[in-house]
Chain A
Amino acid sequence: MINKKTLEKLSLNMRIFCVSKFSIILFTVLCFTTLVHAEMIKLEGDVRDAESKQFLPGATVWIKDLNSGTVTDIDGKFSLDLPKGSYLIEIRFVGYSPYSRLVTIDKPRSLSFVILPEISQLNEINVLGKKAEDNVVSKQMSMQRLDAAAIKRMPAFMGEVDVIKSIQMLPGVSTAVEGATGFSVRGGTPDQNLVLLDMASIYNVSHLMGFFSIFNNDIVQDATLYKGDMPASVGGRLASLLEVTSRNGEAGPVKGQGGIGTIASRLSLEGSLSPSTTFIVAGRRTYADLALKFSSDKALRESQLYFYDLNMKITQRINEKNRLFLSAYTGDDVFGNKDGSLKLGNTMASLRWNHAFDNHLRRDITLYYTGYRYAFGTPEDELNPFLWVSKIEDAGARYDFKIDKGAFSNFEFGASSIFHMFSPGKITSSSATSFFRNFELSSSNALESGIYAAWIPDITSRLSLKIGLRYSDFRNVGSATVYRFDQNYQRTDSVTYHKGDFFNQYGGFEPRIGFNYRLTPTTSVKGAYNRNLQYMQLAQNSTAGTPFDLWFPASPNVKPQKADQFSLGVFKNLDNNTIELSVEGYYKKMSNTIDFKDHAELFLNPLLEGEIRVGQSESYGMEVLAKMKRNKWNGWLGYTLAHSSRTIDGINGGNEYTSPYDKTHQVSVVLNYEFNTKWSVSSNFVFSTGIPLTIPAGKFDYFGNQVPIYTNRNAYRMPDYHRLDLSVTYRPQSVRKRWFTGEWVFSVYNLYNRHNAWTIGFRQDETNPNETYAEKTYLFPLIPAVTYNFKF
């Protein structure tokens, strides 16, 4: 009689027997190597899940230097005979992040490896930033990953640790104005960044007009920024992909963490709901408005001013092969007083089903919803009440396959589809006698789909390739009203499409190609070519952006934007991979670049598409990054040399002008030093050339106003920007065992109180109306903050 254990062993043997021909050859090499080396030393060990601590049968244990390895048995154990020496041992298992470790074999050893469930949901070619030598061996370039711990170490504005602010410290990333969460990658506009939270787009990442982002760091696992060299599995934006993944709740009894900060407090709880189910919930809220309740002013007491975030994630391990991830977020900004109220925020939910067919083939099916909306209105008992709502919603599905058989047999393929629903603006009044009439900008829909395939082979021990191709398809779907314009952008007529009508289609191939040639084990050269198409954009012509900026789709009047990016870089690791160096150069050419005519009306304008002007743009630059991961020292030094420009008919006389986010030089230094378990100190320093500025050359009088006359757009620059932030973390060590641990974070933003220009305006003197002058507005002087973080 065959029992269950025997069957499992048989199954495992069959799996081992069925490994590819290539693996058999490798095993032969291993055996040959074993024969020719007389002195062999035994290495034994096991591989376990970091969360559940369960042993993992079938995990690959790979000795990279010998190009050989084995798989763990049914009990998650392995055994290898190795020649004496030091080896980089890599552990791989479908559904888990690869893990590698340098091991010295000079005597028989027994090792236990713990690996993390794969947090990336994008079928990345390699999960990067995890392996020590990743900077050199990964096929991916123009990418950086920051984990929650690294983000937390950085000094934070008003003590609020922020993913987006951390990303802005990386080379190639810049901000238009101080404090904004909108960011520009390699000269692109903020709407050319795709921001995903657990696979769902976030259309507005800002709180409080951009000074904070919606990402509560307690829920963030990590953030990965792809600066144009995106995986074939993702598309829809030209400049970058920022993938934020939330944490899976840690298995075990319920634990919590939180913080009490200067402007907000937060709390998260996590644990197991059952042996196979974990959860995490997290919340954050500001409390400026609570202080208003104590005001003597009645109007202030009745005011509302806060934002909040709520996150939740449930991870369900159905069995060894199937796992479910349910993630959800909602958050709002609320401003209100007796005259009116404004509420704006995002809501998202995603459900991913991860299925491992065997050790090498994995499939993910993801369904998600995301939406951004705002509502602005007056009280209903007003004489002329109104309510104005605007929203954009997506319902999406993805189907992703990943085959990871090593060397020649790494493949990814899949498909995705998103149904976009645009409701740009609707104003209604609850009173029949109201002055306001009902008003609605035409709603519309669009279906954005893509299929992709990528082959990521190791051609030789030195040369790896990444050959990906994506085809994207975009269709406008009724009901919708489309206005037609003549060559002078004047409306001629309109066409109305019924519900469900597909009335316009765009599509195109998007190659995603790259190589990695390893010059030495610690040095490599990488190159990549990418094409990206973008079918949606923000109606935004301000540098800071506002929460009222509308997303609008490609249409019969608006062609998709296109970018071709070429990049080349040298990557080197030093001192046993504790120092990572990289130098990357890039050139990006974009067509159908969108800008807006002078003094465009982007607000509640049914003829918005008539305000668009289209042309070409390009950007090029060099990015240097030196990362350090030592015992006590952590951080990086980044330098960017860049230029980006646009040439658009109808703007600046049709002449080339500097892009609004262009900064020639940018330096960022992020350093963290751990003195001991009690004390650590962190600092950020940033320097950048001022952003482009348009300065008046002349002026004329018009009914009491001195009106500027401009000659060239963005021909000048704001003063250089620089700032130093510092934070000190103190972790009290209690002799008595307490039920919680805590830490104090004292931080100072803008330590030397530089008055960096937020904006420069041109003003008319009140006493002498003929006198005009330049006026700098600066926002943040030295700002201290204290946060207390706790865990229990």
Chain B
Amino acid sequence: MKSIYLFLSQWLFVLILFSACTERIPLEFGSTYSRLCVESIITTDTMVQKVVLKQSRSYDVNRSPNALTGAKVTINDGFTNFLFKESADSPGVYMSTNEFFGVQGRTYRLRIENVDIDQNGEMEVYNASSTMQYVMPLDSITLFYRSDRKYTELNCWSQEPEGKNWYVFRAMKNGKLANDTASNWFYQKDDLFNGHYTNGITCQFLRDEKANEKPELGDNITLEVCAVNEDYFNFLNALRSETRLQGNPFGGPPANLPTNVSGKAVGFFATFAISRASKKFAGRGN
């Protein structure tokens, strides 16, 4: 979504960054205790769904995070308890069977046991829950190449339903996410267009400068619209502030991200109801 806020942020920075310079500086970072980090999105796709558990680390540690192994991970959908087993190949990755799928309207409850992250000898239990929202079907998408900005717009045609809704928009190229970094996902709530036809509004871009995004003639381009709940929308909003826009003096003061996981955990347990529409890329001549 070409949200107004993004547009304005661009206005703000265009002048200032015109003359700005950056340089790395040494800083003495503090330290803090290790926390459980939850990274999981349950979707409406039928597939192996994952819950990834890692440990947080000090800010100046520049190596991969430690996986959290040996935990007992279950997800309850209100009817059934599903055990997510830890992958033998990927420590800290807990997986469902390949027949698992989320159902719109159901509330999913995550429970993580057998964890002693603070290593005090007492096992901790963490809980989180998320309700799968309802997603609008997409009628179609159109692609439009902006030669002045060197990116391809993914424009969405669909009837947005009445009621409060929150969305994440992701672009796929030939069936693969063009950008799997969460801070680059587009997200929007519907207060400015609630119940309206989307009328070809731009929901994502594919940039020529990024090899994994740049479309070539004949590529199958897919727009993925994911209905999420408000808490996750707020989480993504905060995530962008603390990553891409971190240190922006036009933004708010730095603060920890919200989470829906209990205890002192970080991260988020989210549910995505997804609808998609695709189109072949016909080149940059529009």
Contact = CB atoms under 8 A, between A and B. Distances in A.
Interface in B42-95: 54-60, 62-65
B30 A695 contact: yes
A703 B57 CA distance: 16
Interface in A737-786: 755, 757-764, 768, 770-781
A659 to B, nearest CB: 11
A599 B8 contact: no
B35 to A, nearest CB: 7
Interface in B145-193: 148, 180-183, 191-193
B24 to A, nearest CB: 5
Contacts of A209: 12, 15-16
Nearest to A547: B12
A778 B20 contact: yes
A711 B58 CA distance: 12
Question: By CB atoms of chain B within 10 A, which of A545, A600, A697, A781 has the most?
Answer: A697
Interface string A688-722: 00000011111111111111111101111001000
A707 B54 CA distance: 13
B61 to A, nearest CB: 8
Contacts of B256: 598, 709-710
Contacts of B267: 700, 702
A354 to B, nearest CB: 42
B250 A599 contact: no
A703 B258 contact: no
Contacts of B35: 698, 700, 709
A779 B199 contact: no
Contacts of B5: 603-604
B248 A708 contact: no
A170 B267 CA distance: 46
A704 B191 contact: no
Contact of B58 (A340, A604, A697, A701): A697
A386 B191 CA distance: 14
A704 B25 contact: no
A776 B23 contact: yes
A755 B257 CA distance: 31
Interface stretch (A188-196, A267-275, A430-438): A430-438
B26 interface: yes
Nearest to B8: A548
Interface string B190-222: 011111111111000000000000000000000
Given A546-B12, A700-B266, A775-B22, 5 more contacts: A427-B192, A700-B65, A707-B266, A761-B248, A768-B62
A707 B198 CA distance: 33
Nearest to B257: A707
Interface in A464-487: none
Interface string B255-268: 11110000000111
Contacts of B23: 755, 775-776, 778
Contact of A208 (B15, B193, B197): B15
A661 interface: no
Nearest to B39: A702
Sorted nearest first, the 6 A-B pairs with minimum C-beta distance are A761-B247, A598-B255, A704-B181, A703-B182, A544-B249, A697-B30
Contacts of B133: none
Contact of B180 (A299, A542, A703, A758): A703
B97 interface: no
Contacts of A703: 39, 180-182
Contacts of B197: 433, 435
B211 to A, nearest CB: 13
Interface string B229-245: 00000100111011100
Contacts of A773: 24
Contacts of A208: 15
A22 interface: no
A177 interface: yes
A299 B34 CA distance: 51
Given A546-B12, A702-B182, A708-B242, A437 B194 contact: yes
A543 interface: yes
A697 B59 contact: yes
A710 B255 contact: yes
Contacts of A176: 249
A596 interface: yes
Interface residues of A, number: 83
Given A342-B11, A707-B257, A781-B21, A762 B247 contact: yes
A710 B254 contact: yes
Contacts of B58: 697-699
A472 to B, nearest CB: 30
A698 B59 contact: yes
B251 to A, nearest CB: 6
A702 B37 contact: yes
Interface in A578-611: 596, 598-604
11 contacts: A340-B7, A434-B199, A435-B193, A544-B250, A596-B252, A598-B238, A697-B29, A703-B180, A704-B183, A777-B21, A779-B20
Nearest to B255: A598
Given A209-B16, A707-B257, A543 B249 contact: yes
B30, B64, B243, B253, most chain A CB atoms within 10 A: B253
B272 to A, nearest CB: 12
A335 interface: yes
B246 A439 contact: no
Contact of B247 (A335, A701, A760): A760
B44 to A, nearest CB: 18
Given A384-B201, A702-B239, A776 B250 contact: no
B249 A698 contact: no
B258 A546 contact: no
A772 B65 CA distance: 13
B98 interface: no
Contacts of A342: 8, 11
Nearest to B14: A335
A711 B247 contact: no
A713 B191 contact: no
B54 A705 contact: no
B32 interface: yes
A376 interface: yes
B261 to A, nearest CB: 11
A384 B251 CA distance: 28
Given A599-B238, A697-B29, A759-B247, A771 B62 contact: yes
A710 B241 CA distance: 14
